Amino acid sequence: MARIRFTGALGQVLISSEDGYRVLHVHAQGAIPSSSSVSVTYPVPIKTQSPPLVLATRNGVGYWIAFAHTGGPGNWTGFTASSADMGLGTIVEGGTYKTCCIDPPNDLGSGFKMRSRSTGVCTFNSNYQVFSFLGGSQTWNYISTGRVGVTYYHHFSRSWTPSNNYFLISHVAREFVYWSESNGVVNQNRSTMLGIGHRETDLGNVYLSIASISQDRPRELGIPLMWGR
């Protein structure tokens, strides 16, 4: 089987019939309801074995927390999440999402399609929109720690380009284990929630915030920020 490869202006591989090169295809997209408890059902279940990536925007300040896929391998039907303030007090509900997967089905009629040379799996299908990553980082800037009642909120942020872009939300969970250091002693802590979203109305920064009973902030996060369109 012949090798097919498309490269960009800088020589980067865009799509290829060789294993190791994959692109994300958008399988579903739409509005996220303006509610504190969100439930989204895809128009058609997603047939991949691995869970998809869900990227989202928000209509204003606030956080996505407690993300969970619905369905299962070969039949991902949607997702649920909650909207939270993480100490803000007042937030703006709702947003939009894009759900993306590698290895799209070899269906939807005519179009340009590419298969893996070694496995025969469809790796590119022009009938699906390709999601373009435009930025990302695993390094977050510590901003502050605040307290509401008995809960401490540890805030970290990264700048991004908000115009028409989406950031990854399917990796945030209600509980997050992290390590902190106090007076030279390293402690393991459990958060009550981990959220990703915005704290300023211009939406120019994405915040990762942790709710905890401990006032000691995490030493490091190890959680990626990814965005694109």
DSSP string computed for 204-218? -EEEEEEEES-SSPB
What percent of the chain shows pLDDT beyond 90?
54
Confidence of residue 2 (pLDDT cuts 50, 70, 90): low
Least confident of 36-45, 64-73, 126-135: 126-135
Confidence of residue 4 (pLDDT cuts 50, 70, 90): low
Separation in Å, CA 7 to CA 12, 100, 141, 185:
5, 22, 34, 50
Least confident of 31-40, 87-96, 146-155, 219-228: 219-228
Residue 92, CB-side half-sphere exposure with 13 Å CA sphere: 14
What percent of the chain shows pLDDT beyond 70?
84
| DSSP state, residue 52 | P
Confidence of residue 67 (pLDDT cuts 50, 70, 90): very high
What pLDDT score was predicted for residue 183? 75
The whole-number average pLDDT for the span 199-226 is: 90
Confidence of residue 177 (pLDDT cuts 50, 70, 90): confident
Using the structure block, give the residue that is written with the tokens 């058609």: 44
Higher pLDDT, 6 or 159: 159
Q: Is 12's pLDDT higher than 80?
A: no
The whole-number average pLDDT for the span 223-229 is: 93
Q: Is 62's pLDDT higher than 80?
A: yes
Q: What are φ and ψ of residue 41, in 5° steps?
A: -115, 130
* Tokens read off for 100: 């993306």
> Can you tell me whether residue 42 is helix, strand or coil?
strand
Confidence of residue 70 (pLDDT cuts 50, 70, 90): very high
Please give the Cα distance from 80 to 39 (Å, whole number): 5
What pLDDT score was predicted for residue 209? 95
> Would you say 59 and 34 are in contact if contact means Cβ atoms under 8 Å apart?
yes
226 has which bridge partners?
A: 136
What pLDDT score was predicted for residue 129? 86
